[in-house]
Structure 1
Amino acid sequence: MDAPRWSALLSGWRACGGPLYGRLAEALRAGIRSGQLPPSEALPAERALAELLGVSRSTVVAAYDALADGGWVIRKRGSGTWVAATAPRGANVLALRTPSALPLGGDEFDFTIAVPLLNDAQRREMQAAAQDAFQESLYHPHGLPDLRAVLAELYTREGLPTTPEAVLITSGAQGAISLLTGVFLRPRDRALLETPTYFGAIDAFRAAGAETVGVPVTAQGVEPAAFARAVQHHSPRLAFLTPTFQNPTGTVMPPDARARVAATVAESDLPTIEDDTLIDLGFETGAPPRIATFAPDAPIFNVGSLSKLYWAGLRVGWLRVSATHSGPVGQARTLSDFGSSLPGQHIALQLLQALPRLRQERREAVTMARDLLAELLRRHLPEWQFTVPGGGQFLWVELPTRQTSAFTLCAARYGVRLFPGASMGVALPAEGLPDSFLRLPFTLDPAQLPEAVLRLKAAWEEFSLRQGVDRLA
């Protein structure tokens, strides 16, 4: 059973009224109606689903029987349960790894999305920065020229010579990743990613119909030899790497490893996305040179944004395009939406003029929250293991269980939203990522962290007691 997928699909199954089996049956009906559970798809084994949801096996049996009575599923002793061919069918919907941004309840804490908190001074700063946005009425399909020039100068200053023509403005970093996915991937192509990695890249590649192949992340990021072997054996059409404060592990690839990866990319002519969105969030030291610095003519596409540094709602990202691919990528950018919002771009232009200050302010805020979260976890959940990262905005936490997806459902009953780390895993040739990890961002209001961790502790105590025990409905 793909536990992370089913935990996401059934995350709100208890919200309806009535007996538990009826709530579960209705949640599964909703999955069938929406197209997330297509005809002939097998449902999980009764005992496995019961363990995931923290209910008795009899609850799952009753839910499946109710679905069978209504013609939604077919049940056959010894063969399992699957969606009936005659059940209502919606358009196929991808089961996204990306957490859905549902409205928070008044007493909930959300550890699924990492976004910076805005203060009043920053709100005033953005309002002032937008004043020049209304002086013209033009399309800029590739982005505001002044903004592209500032970003090109920034890349050049940091060791990667860049012209304004090589920079495209997108709707956030996700827009850049999706743009490149559309240019380079076709159904049944192979895409190479780190494992674990950013769930938005996994979803974009899967939505394109590509087969994803994982390269393990070590304590120093992806090993160059493993990357080279994967390129040789799998012949991918696109690769995705986050060498600096990797999401979610926080690891940093050393300069010599970056040079070797760059050499592989250049030799294989493999289009490779280098995700720089966390590059400004180093706590102690600066980031090593970008991979693209070691092979400036290779097909390496650098992606950045202000979402992690300043505010996710700004939705301004950018893409540095290699000269060889500027034509097709630029055309695809023009076709997507004729250009990003001018007010957002003008705000970004003004903010980038004060980049050193923005970096310092963000580092100070994130460092305090990181240290507080780490201290609270060590005090209240000492059996949870993690390494404090030198940058980024996540703790990659290993739990002493292989049922972390089930724990996220337990924690939800305590008002804490969690994202199972296995959802960020990419299948290796032999195995996937163990269901033993959580990605915990330290971007919550620090004043909320003590209560949030106490709830995690209470949920963990309940979950630990119930593991392996048949539960009553």
Structure 2
Amino acid sequence: MDAVRWSTLLADWRTHQGALYLRLSAAFQGVIRGGKLAPAEQLPAERTLAELLGVSRSTVVAAYDHLAEGGWVTRRRGSGTHVSGSAPRQTPVLTLRTPVQPPVPPADELDFTIAVPLLDDTQRQQLREAALDAFRESVYHPLGLRDLRAVLAGSYTREGLPTLPEQVIVTGGAQQAISLVTSTGLRPGDAALLETPTYFGAIDVFRAAGAHLHGVPVQEDGLNFEEFRALTLKHAPRLAFLTPTFQNPTGTVMPVQTRRKLADFIASTNLTTIEDDTLYDLNFEATPPPRLSTFAPDAPILNVGSLSKLYWAGLRVGWMRVPTPLRPALEQAKTLADFGGSLPAQHIALKLLQDLPALRDRRRQEVQPARDLLARLLRQQLPDWEFTLPHGGQYLWVRLPTRHASSFTHHAARYGVRLFPGASMSVIDLPDSYLRLPFTLAPAELPEAVRRLEAAWADFQTRQGQERLA
């Protein structure tokens, strides 16, 4: 069984109503109706699914029987349980790795799946003041406000990457930028390279494009350059996605010497590469190395940034710095996508980014204490969980002493903690032993979150190898 896939498909099964078997049946009906399971596709074996979800085998048997009674699945002794060809369904869609909250999340749930900054009253007032000039015009700016593009270009230039305003395209968050580059650069069947583990949003976009994904392992000092080089020469990829600085999720930082070699190689192979800069500003101890693109400014390296991690995810303002040869295709794609982003959001972003150093300092002052608190609590209460303290970013990449981390995420949900299995962030086989824990929860909530994790982990260890209880 693909534990990661089934864990993702059934992540919110307990949020349904009724007895456990009815909740599980309802979850399966939802993924079948939504096109995420194909006709005749086999469901997991009863005992195997019971172990993943932390329930008794009889609960799974009852759920499958209920599905069969409703015509959703067919069951035959010796051949297993399969999706019925007559079951209601929509056009097939991907099973996304990207975690999303259920429509009505439990009231007291603590969520470790999405990392977003929290706004305080001072920042809310700052947003209101920044919006005073946000409604003065009613025109389209497909590539973004000229003044905002100029501010972003100036920031890149001051940090060693010469950039003209014409090279900057403002997007609806970094995710839209990644999607636009993917739509112009990849066709079904093309090869693509990603670090592994890596950002789940990039995995989903590349999968949706029909690309063949190849993973480059991330080591203690970032991407393995020799593996990247070998895979490029072997598969001739059309697009690569990299996060050299405070890599998501491991927090690693690629050394300068590796950046030089990698930039030279990208330039020599003309491999279009997305450099994800969304965490670049979140350094704690020291200034990070120059961006990868600064070592080859004319290479096909696109820098993607956003205010989502630096200030507030609700603003939905991102951007990309585009090498000149790639501009025509991306300018057209952006225009076709939306005719231009929200003018109020861009005017607010313009005001905020005019004092970028202040934004960076404030965000560091918020995130670093939370990182230190979460790390201290985990070391005190869960000492067998292993991690390296990152020098920036907003995640701990935690290794659990188990090969069933996906199952533990379901178990932790019973204790009111929402987790994301780290193996979902890989495009090659990765031991199912990791969790990505962002330190972006409110500091006041972290002690309770770790207390719940400790209780869930103790119970999970006790239950491993035993019959699961309904």
Shorter-normalised TM range? over 0.9
The CA distance in 1 between the partners of 2:248 and 2:17, in whole Å, is 38
Cα offset, 1:67, TM superposition: 2.2
* Structure-1 residue corresponding to 2:439: 442
- Report the Cα distance in structure 1 between the residues aligned to 2:18 and 2:159, rounded to whole angstroms: 60
Deviation of the 1:298 alpha carbon: 1.0
- Distance apart, 1:61 and its partner CA: 2.2
**Deviation for aligned residue 1:108:** 1.2
Retained in 1: the 8 A contact 2:275–2:292? Answer: yes
**Separation in structure 2 between the aligned mates of residue 116 and residue 344 of structure 1, nearest angstrom:** 17
- Distance of 2:435 and 2:20 partners within structure 1: 27
Three-state SS of the structure 2 residue aligned to 1:213 is strand
8 Å contact kept, 1:104–1:110: no
- Tell me whether 1:186 sits opposite 2:187 in the alignment: yes
**1:257 and 1:116 mapped to 2: Cα distance?**
31
Distance 1:123 1:23 in 2: 39
Query: Unmatched 5+ residue regions in structure 2?
Result: none
| 1:332-368 Cα distance to aligned partner (Å, 9 max, x none) | 1111101111111111111111111111111111110
Report the 3-state secondary structure (helix = DSSP H, G, I; strand = E; otherwise coil) of the residue aligned with 2:49.
helix
Distance 2:106 2:57 in 1: 30
Aligned-residue offset at 1:331: 0.8
Q: Find out whether 1:96 has 2:96 as its counterpart.
A: yes
Deviation at 1:238, TM superposition (A): 0.7
Q: How does 1:135-146 map to 2 (within 5 A)?
A: 135-146=136-147
Partners in 2 of 1:388 and 1:443 — Cα distance? 15
Higher mean alpha-carbon deviation, 376-385 vs 24-33, is at 24-33
Listed as ranges, the matches of 1:2-401 within 5 Å are 2-102=2-102, 103-401=104-402
Matches within 5 A, 1:420-435: 420-427=421-428, 432-435=429-432
Matched, 1:451 2:448: yes
**CA distance in structure 2 between the partners assigned to 1:343 and 1:88 by the alignment:** 42
Please give the alpha-carbon distance, in whole angstroms, between the structure 2 residues aligned to 1:153 and 1:173: 19
Displacement, 1:48? 1.3
Between Structure 1 and Structure 2, how many residues are aligned? 469
C-alpha separation in 2, matches of 1:185 and 1:162? 25
Q: Distance in 2 between matches of 1:16 and 1:258?
A: 48
Name the CA distance, whole Å, in 2 between partners of 1:28 and 1:137. 46
Distance 1:457 1:64 in 2: 32
Of 168-177 and 291-300, more deviation after overlay is shown by 291-300
Aligned partner of 1:210: which letter? Answer: A
2: CA distance, partners of 1:300 / 1:146 = 23
CA distance in 1, matches of 2:165, 2:12: 47
Q: Residues of 1 paired with 2:58 and 2:352: CA distance?
A: 58
Whichever residue aligns with residue 43 of structure 2, its letter is: L
**Residues 175-222 of structure 1: per-residue CA shift (max 9 Å, x gap):** 100111111111121211000000110111111111211100001110
How do residues 409-424 of structure 1 correspond to structure 2 at under 5 angstroms?
409-424=410-425
What is the Cα deviation at residue 45 of structure 1? 1.7
SS of residue matched to 1:134:
coil
Matched residues in 2 for 1:15 and 1:322: separation? 46
- Percent of pairs with identical residues: 66
Alpha-carbon RMSD across the aligned residues, in angstroms, is: 1.2
Q: Which amino acid aligns with 2:14?
A: R
Q: TM-score, normalised by structure 1?
A: 0.97
CA drift of 1:260 comes to 1.0
SS at match of 1:227: helix
- Of 82-91 and 109-118, the range deviating more from structure 2: 82-91
Instruction: For 1:16 and 1:160, locate their aligned partners in 2 and report how far apart those are by CA, in whole Å.
Output: 51
Q: Measure, in 1, the Cα distance between the counterparts of 2:360 and 2:376.
A: 24
TM-score w.r.t. length of structure 2 = 0.97
Cα offsets for 1:223-247 (capped at 9, x unmatched): 2111111111111111000000000
How far, CA to CA, are the matches of 2:70 and 2:101 in structure 1? Answer: 32
Give the 3-state SS of the residue equivalent to 1:67 in structure 2.
Answer: helix
Write the letter of the residue equivalent to 1:438: L
Give 1:5 shift.
2.1
* 1:461 equivalent in alignment to 2:454: no
Shift of residue 44 of structure 1?
A: 1.1
